Amino acid sequence: MHADSIAAHLAAVHSRIREAAARAARDPADIALLAVSKKQPASAIRAAFSAGQRAFGESYVQEGLDKIAELADLAIEWHFIGRVQSNKTRAIAEHFDWVHGLCDLGHAQRLSEQRPSARGPLNVCLQVNLSGEASKGGVTPEALPELLAECRALPGLRLRGLMTLPAPAEDEAAQRVPFGALRALRERLATPDCPLEHLSMGMSHDLEAAVLEGATLVRIGTALFGPRLS
């Protein structure tokens, strides 16, 4: 996609966020855009960066590492948004700034131990599986409090919030249900010393519903870059 098109799409996504924020009586500045750049070339990321985007999400470790190296001249905030695997935790801990799909204590312990102290704690969002889909990662709502407590004790991690990837729904009312459930979990489990300030939820097709239910990080790929490369 041409750089001008990416800039135009980025502006359009920000417009959607502002309109949804207005409907929810929220400040759009409280809603961050995470550009999902998996399967997109480094040139597309560079174009989005030139248009003002700073946070990018990758789902595949090696692809992400290649882009981090190629784009090392840019001050990018890199988010890992794929499934965490035990044999990839060191690379994630050493090279990424955020992890959005953490749902396993063993992985959390490895990430904490392998995080370079010079980089400070790794920002993490715990993934919650609200739909019960076996194909989706995430901890159950019932198991979340225990995982949350255990992760809070890990010095190499900084718990920032919760994340979910719900089953697709066509109408806004249905889309809002799981997002509202995640917000309710956050409200129940947040404490002054662990406010869980972020809700990582909403993608290209349902960002409005997510913003209406309190999303602070929306993960946008297709609406920004177009279809992913194969």
The string of DSSP letters for the chain reads --HHHHHHHHHHHHHHHHHHHHHTT--GGG-EEEEE-TTS-HHHHHHHHHTT--EEEESSHHHHHHHHHHTTTS--EEEE-S---GGGHHHHHHH-SEEEEE--HHHHHHHHHHS-GGG-PEEEEEEB-SS--TTS--B-TTTHHHHHHHHHT-TTEEEEEEE--PPP-SSHHHHHHHHHHHHHHHHHH-BTTB---EEE---TTTHHHHHHTT-SEEEESHHHH-SPP-
Number of domains in the chain: 1
- Domain encompassing residue 51: 3-225
Query: So what's the pLDDT on residue 226?
Result: 84
Token pair belonging to 117 = 């102290």
Give Cα 132 distance to the centre of its chain: 20
With respect to residue 84, please indicate whether it lies within any of the assigned structural domains: yes
With respect to residue 90, please indicate whether it lies within any of the assigned structural domains: yes
List 220's β-bridge partners, or say none.
35
Query: So what's the pLDDT on residue 133?
Result: 73
Residue 14: count other Cβ atoms within 10 Å of its Cβ: 16
Taking the C-alpha atoms of residue 56 and residue 71, their distance in angstroms, rounded to an integer, is 12
With respect to residue 217, please indicate whether it lies within any of the assigned structural domains: yes
With respect to residue 67, please indicate whether it lies within any of the assigned structural domains: yes
**Model pTM score:** 0.95
CATH of the domain at 186: 3.20.20.10
By the 10 Å C-beta count (0-12 exposed, 13-18 middle, 19+ buried), 213 is classed as buried
Report how far apart, in Å, the C-alpha atoms of 136 and of each of 49, 126, 230 are: 30, 13, 22
With respect to residue 68, please indicate whether it lies within any of the assigned structural domains: yes
Q: Quick one: which of 166, 158, 225, 168 has its CA closest to 198?
A: 158
Query: So what's the pLDDT on residue 16?
Result: 98
User: Per-residue pLDDT for the chain (230 aa), expressed as one digit of tens each?
Assistant: 677 899 999 999 999 999 999 999 999 999 999 999 999 999 999 999 999 999 999 999 999 999 999 999 999 999 999 999 999 999 999 999 999 999 999 999 999 999 999 999 999 999 999 977 777 789 999 999 999 999 999 999 999 999 999 988 989 999 999 999 999 999 999 999 999 999 999 999 999 999 999 999 999 999 999 876 65
With respect to residue 174, please indicate whether it lies within any of the assigned structural domains: yes
With respect to residue 230, please indicate whether it lies within any of the assigned structural domains: no
Query: So what's the pLDDT on residue 104?
Result: 96
